[in-house]
Amino acid sequence: MMFISKYIAPLLLLFAVLVRAVSRERSIRILNDSGSRIEVFWVNPQTRETALLSKPNVKDGASMPMSTFVGHEFEIHEVPSAKTGTCSNEEKVCRIASFKVGEPEEQAFRILPGFGIQAGDHSILQKERDTPDQAIKTCQRKAKSQMDELDGSAEASLVLINDLANCVQLSVSEKLREANEEISYQSRVRKQIAGTLENYTCVDESLVSSPDVSSRVWEGSADGLPRTVHIKHDRPSSQIHVIENFIDVEECNAMEQAAVPTLHHATVADGKGGSRLSESRKAMQAGITVDWAKEEEGDLIARLSRRVYDYTNNVLGLNIQEHGQEDLMSIQYFGRGLNDTAPDRYTPHCDGDCTGLPHKAGTRMATMVMYCTLPERGGSTNFRNAGVHVKPVSGNAIFFSYINPESKFMDSGYTEHSGCPVFVGEKKIVTQWIRYGVDSENPWNSFNTLGIKVKDAMNQ
């Protein structure tokens, strides 16, 4: 037993030393953003002599990874210009900086233009230098460094200019590509989460409308009545507003009576330019053509439609006219009990393009939904990607636009919405889909649901 202990004890001690040594090993990275080429030297802790590690030297904008240990010291030496034999700072003296490796894992040491050293986590420092602005600065420093090596001829200067332009183009393009990939990924995650929560949001009867981002008062140009506007979502290409007391009982009744002769099952776009019946949209609807000749006589439907365009222009400033627009639509959902496995509803959809692409002439760019009759259970409106839930109030309206009025680019999905299932009672609404690029000579029905002129589609 004594014999075994005699040999085990030293082995355990050696093992402890090795473990301690390994645990103090660190991977570091030196990031050169100094504007000059640099050399990296290790400093001997006993003799303080230095040993060159960077062969060849590290160019500006480049990085140098290495394995080392906690407590090791390094010196960074600025390399003089091969042409002038001096360094590029005002004193023409080559600078030296130093740093010591600390305890944290994955350390990085960034050599800054003034030859200071920024120490920190590698991923954080790398993100700082990966912005388009930093990429451009790196290209500028490279160009300045190259300038010191040139002979000053016109030909050499032209080469330098071309190199600078290529550097900026490649660097910024790569950063923008990476940023777009990250945005796309985050958008997919956001939509997946919103889709998971959709059904829970719709069946929660205790859920109230989402809080306002802001609010304001709008006065219609026709009746001059002040109406409170609750702004739920406000982005350049997507807005969601709830307007109080937008439609009155007389206007609701006029729309419902006008709809009776032509009420039919609602359809959806078929993706080929036409429309079709779908289980995703279970409701009855009827289009009501506005008789604008009766507007001055106080026609209720014309009065309501004028109010829609009045508000749309107040928000978007696109001078939308009534000529060539779609009919007002009376839409009705009927509840058949809590046990109905296929209730009337409209599953998540976009009324127009929600691709983030430019607007196609003649297609929809805003919607007004006006609430007349409300069900006892169900029937809320949900904008799942925007995180906006609206519990309807009779007489109120939801306005949502899906175009940037300045750039004419479309929403990228925030106005995707659903009409939650109606279980008990009836839900009756009036909807106006508003188009951009239509007029008397190019009415809404001269375009198919893909935004292509019908006559052009027939010739393809």
Q: What is the pLDDT of residues 285-335, one digit of tens each?
A: 999 999 999 999 999 999 999 999 999 999 999 999 999 999 999 999 999
Average pLDDT of the residues of the chain: 84
Q: What's the pLDDT score for residue 19?
A: 45
The larger pLDDT score, comparing residue 353 to residue 162, is at 353
The structure tokens 């659903």 sit at 418
Q: Above 80 in pLDDT, residue 48?
A: yes
Q: Above 50 in pLDDT, residue 1?
A: no
Q: What's the pLDDT score for residue 389?
A: 94
With beta carbons less than 8 A apart as the criterion, state whether 398 and 368 touch.
yes
Q: What type of residue is 17?
A: V
The tens digit of pLDDT for each residue in 100-115 reads 999 998 899 999 988 9
- What average pLDDT does range 224-231 have in this prediction? 96
CA 319 to chain centre: 28
- What average pLDDT does range 89-101 have in this prediction? 89
- What average pLDDT does range 42-47 have in this prediction? 92
Q: What's the pLDDT score for residue 308?
A: 98
Q: Above 60 in pLDDT, residue 284?
A: yes
Q: What's the pLDDT score for residue 134?
A: 64
Structural tokens at position 358:
């430019």
Using pLDDT thresholds of 50, 70 and 90, give the confidence band for residue 92.
confident
Least confident of 109-113, 186-190, 225-229: 186-190
Q: Above 90 in pLDDT, residue 395?
A: yes
